[in-house]
Amino acid sequence: MAVNYNGDIQFWGGAVESQSMALDLLSPPNHFATSLLDELGGRAWLIRDPDGSGHLVSSPRLQSLSDLLMRQDSDHEAIFLATGRGSGTLFAAVIHSTRRGQAQGGVRHCAYDSVEDLLCDGLRLARTMTRKNALAGLWWGGGKGLIARVPGDRADDADFRRCLYQEYGAFVTSLRGIYVAGEDAGTRPADMAEIFRATRFATCIPPERGGSGNPSRMTAEGVVAAMEAGLLFLEQNGLHGKKVVLQGTGNVGSAMIRLLLDRGVRQIVASEVCADRREALLDRWSGAPVEIRQVREDDPSILWEPCDVLSPCAMGGVLGSKTIPSVQARMICGSANDPLENELRDAAALAQLAILYVPDFVANRMGIVSCGNEQYGFIENDPLVHRHLDREWPGGIHQTVLRICEESRREAITPLEATLRLADAQAQQTHPIWGHRASRIIESVIESSWASAG
């Protein structure tokens, strides 16, 4: 389809193709990439109709993508899809909002069963990034990058990864700054260096390339700061003497162990799916009050361990109707993005159990704070970064947690609802210099016949 921003829409090729040739949202992502998307020229887009009535797609064969967004009650500005020519991998950039600036968010490299699973993950995470950036006072919008992991061991091959991430970087470049990539689940610092080879629209660049590097340690600092604020609200006087449970000991979870021990916690119980990582951590913390249990990926039992603070630090969607009734924690505060299966429903369920839930996009902001503005230069112990950990700064994590908890109690709403009010209000502010310029970049990309240039 071609779009005229005076409101006229023209479909290429006359009649809409048969349904059998349309996008099957239940198909595996890389099958879609090497079949339908390749037939469409290797690229496709969906944008919100400027009049707000629905969505426009680059081909009638993608109508089911528009239908998906309608079912999700989506207010996202755009989705861009492409096939990596050398890797045969499906790439996506999901753009939620660019009011506060270019859409920024990490590149998630994960396995997905279907195109629908991939897109729903991107829609959810991009919206969260809008809220996280707005709450942190950053002049960035919200977006998410997605790379569908190929089956088998190929994704761990060094040569393949170099090709894959350079291709993704070229994809980001083609979007002209609508989306700015960062590090996320499944993406390594070396991968960000490869993305940076192909685009300037990237953050979390390794220090040897002039960037701030892996943001995991700073993310851990922020989550622990949020824990302390939540415990203060509960009149629990900090982490000293408390039992903390960590679901996941990846880059952030493992960094939290040292921070928690430094604060005098009584015990840390953690789960880990990788046997080698578990053994390495047990060796490192031998003699400390740290227990690490090896579990299967589908084992949620760590969530039910009695504790003062439960900290989900793995993947999202782990707290829902099947797991919440057995949670035995006074507070939930972790680094995982979107740990609730259904935000409003599950936040209400936790409140009914008198469990304080600190929303993830309040607690885990330090990753984006530490690397988001690195193109303006990098400073060791940057005061503009570290003020977010200052207990007295009104815009910092500590004061923000206290503010949303107090509003929750005053208004008889959940802390999530209080956080959403604050974040969504701030997300409506436009960039003080550039306004909503990124929306015009989206238009210019579409007008340049981007989908047919793949």
Q: What is the pLDDT of residue 210?
A: 84
Closest alpha carbon to 76 in 38, 129, 11: 129
Q: What is the pLDDT of residue 7?
A: 35
Q: Is residue 422 within 8 Å of residue 405, measured between CB atoms?
A: no
Per-10-residue mean pLDDT of the chain, 454 residues long, equals: 36 36 83 90 92 85 89 91 94 97 96 95 96 97 96 85 96 97 91 95 89 91 98 95 97 96 98 95 96 94 98 94 97 96 97 97 96 88 95 97 98 98 97 95 94 80
Assigned CATH topology for domain 216-413 = Rossmann fold (3.40.50)
With tokens 């984006």, the residue in question is: 368
Q: What is the pLDDT of residue 311?
A: 98
Q: What is the pLDDT of residue 152?
A: 79
Q: What is the pLDDT of residue 11?
A: 32
Written as six digits, the tokens of 375 are 């193109």
Active site residues: 144
The whole-model pTM stands at 0.92
Helical packing angle, 158-174 and 189-198, nearest 10°: 50
Written as six digits, the tokens of 416 are 């999530």
How many C-alpha atoms does 434 have within 13 Å on its Cβ side? 14
Contacts 24+ apart (CB under 8 A), 345-352: 345/321, 346/319, 346/320, 346/321, 347/414, 347/415, 347/416, 347/417, 348/414, 349/321, 349/324, 349/325, 350/319, 350/324, 350/414, 351/414, 351/415
Q: What is the pLDDT of residue 19?
A: 42
Q: What is the pLDDT of residue 150?
A: 87
Map out the domains of the chain as residue ranges. Answer: 2-207+438-453, 216-413
Distances (CA, A) of 71 to 58, 65, 75, 122, 337: 19, 10, 11, 15, 22
Tally Cβ neighbours within 10 Å of residue 240. Answer: 12
In this chain, the answer to whether the domains covering 2-207+438-453 and 216-413 adopt an identical fold is: yes
- Domain with residues 2-207+438-453, CATH architecture: 3-Layer(aba) Sandwich (3.40)
